[in-house]
Chains A and B, each alone.
Chain A
Amino acid sequence: MTPQLPQVPVTRSMFGTGTRPALPILEARMLTKQYRMPGEVVEAVRGVTLGVMPGEFVALMGPSGSGKSTLLQLLGGLDRPTSGEVLLEGEPIGRLSDSDATRLRRERTGFVFQSFNLVPLLNVVENVGLPFTIAGQDPRSAELAGRIREAIALVELTGKERHKPDQLSAGERQRVAVARAIVTRPALLFADEPTGNLDFTTGIDILNALWRTCVDRGQTVVLVTHDAKAAAYADRVFVMQSGRVQDEIALGRRDDHGAAPLIARLAQLGL
């Protein structure tokens, strides 16, 4: 698949001047991931090629077993492809050493998972500031403390800084996870089924939080979901089936996040 610009006008420019960069921030080229099982080889991802532009919100959507989570892990540098290439800001990241991959996760990517996102022993501020702590920086310094406060405010959890995870609701915990993922201002934010364990209303809060990071801060977001309503927040949706990108649906930057166009398109695809 050749990377394309959204097919509808961008309603809000990330850069203010309307200038759009020419190169994707994230590229996958003929990515393949195979798992060797007893007696067989399973191809979780088959020859996927795609690109994500800076400031874009893209979704990888598909049913369970479609390979979307595996693709996310490859794109995020959590796993190595069997073949193909992943480029982040033009640099290949698919074959990094463990220490380089670690630095990548620390400095250039952020992750939100479906569950078990927070360290139970740390409060909200400490969980959000965890990437700074890991990097050897002092999260209590003025600059970093400010960024932590900003991230907490973005996910609308101001006032709950000293709460421990067991004192928060599921949705609040996930918002803290979002705040932690963006506090270092990573090049890319990856979210793997972040609303999977949440009810509909709480899930909306999370998606709104992700969308705000994208709109207000120009964060590039890659979301994995099986839910069309969640995918409807994206500017573009890559529909996956059996390890391949079956289709790419351009929804554009919309404030209403209506899922109807996406659902209609999925119906056309027979999904």
Chain B
Amino acid sequence: MRGLARYAWRSLVARPARTLLTILGIAIGVAVLVAALGVDSGLDVSIDRTVASMVGRADIRVAAFAETGLSAASLAQVEGVPGVALAAPVIERRTFLGSEAGRPVSTEPVTILGVDPSLEPRVRDLTLVRGTALAAGDGPVVLVTERLAASDAVDVGDSMVILGAGAPLRVKVAGVLAGDGPEVGSSGRTVVLPIRTAQALAVADGETMPDALAGISRIDVVLAAGATPDAVIATMGRTLSVEPYVLSVPRDVAATLRASTADVRATMALLAAITLFAAAILILNTMSMTVVERVRELGLLRAAGAGRGQIVHVVVMQALVLGAAGSVAGLLLGVMLAEVAAAWLRASGSLELDGPSISPAVLLAGLVTGLAITLVAAVEPARRAAGISPVAVMRVRADPGSLVRAHTGWLVAVVAVIGVVAVLLMPGGAADRSGPVRALVVYAILLTAVLLTPALLGPLARVVGLPFAAFLRLEERLARAAIRRDPSRTALTVGALIVGLAMVVALASVAGSARNTATSWLADVVPGDEILTAIAPAPVGDGGVDRQVAAIDGVLRATPLASFDLAFDGTRLEAVAIRGADFLADGRLVFTAGDRATALPALDAGGAAILPASRAARLGIGLGDAIAVASGAGLVQLRVVGLVDRSFPGRSGDAVLVGWGDAVDHFGVAGADSIAVRYAPGRQAEAQPQVEALARELALTAAPISRVAGAVADALDRLFGLLDLLALAAVVIASLGIVNTLSMNTWERVRELGMLRAAGMSRSQVWRSVLVEAGILGAIGALVGSIAGVAIGALLAGGGASGWSGVVVPWPAIGLSLVLGVALAMLAAAQPARMAGRMSIVAAVRGE
């Protein structure tokens, strides 16, 4: 075997360009896989860190359901539950810091965490970098995070002013917490202070501070040894009766976070699998070409007594060398790509991600997958090579390669292996089980497109060749003849391009759909040109913020909005309190059932709700049905008076719409989270500065709708930019395949080209014919890929968490893929075209 191993090695070395390009193709496929796995692991690590930061050592969290929070009575009940060793209350608020002389003015809000200094350290570590910790009985002293200390130029010993419902509170900085502190999602701007001090911030002027603790946002529970969360939760369910609450355990928090990242992970995993598919096509094509090129030698080896197994061994050894080299290179490339991907995702702001996590398991998975796919792709060419009969080879003088053309049907087996790898290795972050099914359908669409290509080659080549034929008739005819010479090879070459470009188009379609979904609610739902956001509930009604804004000349309407949660049939539903009359006047909301003229006033009258159609369908609720939702005093019946196409987006779908009266009377809504400001026609320019000045006075953040939409679009563009980069990896692999194929096609046609040259064809005509061949291949790839991409885009967009948003045909992306396909293919053909043009006529006719 050693001797034939030498032959196998030399066979690879004899074609250095093809060997290197194939290795590069495998490397790119493995790199994308490693990057996807690394980012996925990194997200898991970040999520675990986040959960640990959020819940610390708490085993259970009891969170307030209503805006008013939990009372001391609830705290006492929690403490009394058997199995509870520790119940640490926390008050969490958002507010602003007051200005201080000599310090930069900060317009960014801060998160206030009011904790029990004696209990909190037993739940989580508050690591100080300087200063001292809070102590029980402390007065107005605070801990600030390092980031806040740096941005606002405060340090130990400095005083700060915290704005509250009443008079601003002056506090002293006792210590600085490491990093961003314990509160996730606060952008590192967190102030930790004693819980009673935090409670005082909620006391308005003229009110007295209650003796008992109140307004508790959450209670973190540490269990006694031997107690289990499930048992304690069951007891709490029977025991806690003062206010509505939500129970969660760390795994629930982690699951929620994982679910929020599921779409991105699943898409990255899908792209990794698609890239591996493209790499597998490249390998299958390359090994097939190698067999075709060496068919006489292999026949000779058979005639000299080599067995079928030895021939298989030769081909498999070559595949192993390619696979090993490509996989190792891919690991190195993948580590770098993972860093790039992680940095990109962080910059997009869409995910909390510290960095990729490249564990030995990830590297091993990349290595094994690269080798496995290379070997699987090489099996069929090896089998065909082993089937070479020495007699048949010697008999077929003109085109012995015709005995061993590639069988594209073997791609089914390759895809099956990739599918198995994907299932075994790919992230399971998505709770939605349809994810793997969707991925399989995507593979099926791509595989079908590739397998149909040989049958469609002729007509497709004729169609896409028309532009070339208009100017380069001879070259176009030669190119089409060359393409039809080996349909299976052409199909494999174009197949990789189809795969890559289909994903580019699909991602553009999904991005367009996501953009539409994300911004359509702004147009369909929000009754305003500008949104004023409050960090604490803003008073509404007489003397309220909405009346003050509406009083400004040029303002047509100021609509208060408040988000809260409803408990319905064991499910937590997001809800938004609205003023129906404002929405009716503004013409917002698209009703799919019910009459807007009666439904919106019914909200204001009370006892009614408007549901988003998708939510209603999931819950099995129809127009006219009554839903019983939990309130502080028991169950409240709300009659469904309308179904709308879109509502305000929530965590798990669009929100239920409830009237202000019901929200305040039954569900503890204390004020508006935001005010939608509608300007009178033509008056925005004059009224907007006054509105924004008032907003600053009232500690509201103003944002024009256009800016909100732009921010959403920007975030989506950044995220999809990364995914496009990964999809382009498959296109690059396809380009490598085109180089190989055109080189091979030129080699096979050397006698034919020599004869044409001898008959008077110029060098430039020869290389133009190769370029036109590449251009036609690229155009076929782009055309078929675009059709497949639109179908895949529709499939992926329909399965996202945000629901179906219709098919978006991304015409710009289709145009781009056409240009990209043709340009890349012709670029890849440059060297083979040059070789063909420089061929010696004498050597060519002799067949050397």
Contact = CB atoms under 8 A, between A and B. Distances in A.
Contact of A134 (B11, B304, B391, B394): B304
A98 B305 CA distance: 10
Q: Is the interface of B mostly helix, strand, loop or mixed?
A: helix
Given A78-B391, A79-B391, A116-B296, A121 B306 contact: no
B447 to A, nearest CB: 33
Contacts of B300: 113, 116-119
Contacts of A107: 305
A139 interface: yes
Interface string B289-321: 000000011001111111110100000000000
Of B4, B10, B300, most buried by chain A (CB within 10 Å of CB) is B300
Interface of B: 1-4, 6-7, 10-11, 14, 296-297, 300-308, 310, 390-391, 394
Q: Which 6 A-B pairs have the closest CB atoms?
A: A106-B305, A133-B3, A121-B10, A105-B305, A116-B296, A134-B306
A260 B555 CA distance: 120
Nearest to A74: B391
Nearest to A166: B848
A130 B304 CA distance: 8
A111 B305 CA distance: 10
Interface string A69-92: 000010000110000000000000
B297 A134 contact: no
A131 interface: yes
A106 B304 contact: yes
Nearest to B11: A121
A129 B302 CA distance: 15
A134 B301 contact: yes
Interface in A107-123: 107, 111, 113, 116-122
A103 B4 CA distance: 17
A102 interface: yes
A135 B305 contact: yes
Nearest to B13: A121
Nearest to A137: B3
Nearest to B4: A133
Contacts of B301: 119, 130, 134
Contacts of B305: 102-107, 131, 134-135
Contacts of B4: 133-134
A16 interface: no
20 contacts: A78-B391, A102-B308, A105-B303, A105-B304, A111-B304, A116-B296, A119-B297, A120-B297, A121-B10, A122-B6, A129-B3, A131-B304, A133-B2, A134-B4, A134-B301, A134-B304, A134-B305, A134-B310, A139-B3, A192-B394
A116 B298 CA distance: 11
How extensive is the interface on chain A, given as a class?
20 to 34
Interface in A122-173: 122, 126, 129-136, 138-139
Contacts of B2: 133, 138
A185 interface: no
Contacts of A104: 305
Interface of A: 73, 78-79, 98-99, 102-107, 111, 113, 116-122, 126, 129-136, 138-139, 180, 192
Of A103, A119, A122, A136, most buried by chain B (CB within 10 Å of CB) is A119
Contacts of B1: 136
A194 to B, nearest CB: 13
A133 B1 CA distance: 7
A146 to B, nearest CB: 17
Contacts of A132: 3
Contacts of B10: 121-122
Contacts, number: 71
Nearest to B847: A115
A124 B2 CA distance: 18
Contacts of A117: 300
A121 B391 contact: no
Nearest to A76: B303
A99 B308 CA distance: 8
Of B1, B301, B391, most buried by chain A (CB within 10 Å of CB) is B391
A106 B390 CA distance: 13
A180 B7 contact: no
Contacts of A73: 391
Contacts of B304: 105-106, 111, 130-131, 134, 180
Nearest to B387: A98
Contacts of B303: 78, 105, 111, 113
B392 to A, nearest CB: 9
B750 to A, nearest CB: 15
A103 B304 CA distance: 9
Nearest to A177: B300
A78 to B, nearest CB: 5
A123 B522 CA distance: 75
A139 B2 CA distance: 10
A102 B391 contact: no
B280 to A, nearest CB: 27
A119 B293 CA distance: 12
B7 A122 contact: yes
B14 to A, nearest CB: 6
A79 B302 CA distance: 13
A73 B2 CA distance: 30
Contacts of A139: 3
A14 B394 CA distance: 33
Contact of A119 (B7, B302, B391, B394): B7
A131 B305 CA distance: 7
Nearest to A79: B391
A135 B305 CA distance: 8
Nearest to B386: A98
Given A116-B296, A121-B14, A134-B310, A102 B302 contact: yes
A120 B303 CA distance: 16
A79 B392 CA distance: 9
B416 to A, nearest CB: 29
B309 to A, nearest CB: 9
A102 B296 contact: no
Contacts of A113: 300, 303, 394
A153 B679 CA distance: 104
A261 B763 CA distance: 54
Nearest to A181: B304
Of B1, B4, B11, B303, most buried by chain A (CB within 10 Å of CB) is B303
A9 to B, nearest CB: 36
Contacts of A135: 305
Contacts of A121: 7, 10-11, 14
Contacts of A131: 304-305
A80 to B, nearest CB: 10
Nearest to A130: B304
A55 B302 CA distance: 26
A118 B300 CA distance: 8
Contacts of A79: 391
Contacts of B394: 113, 192
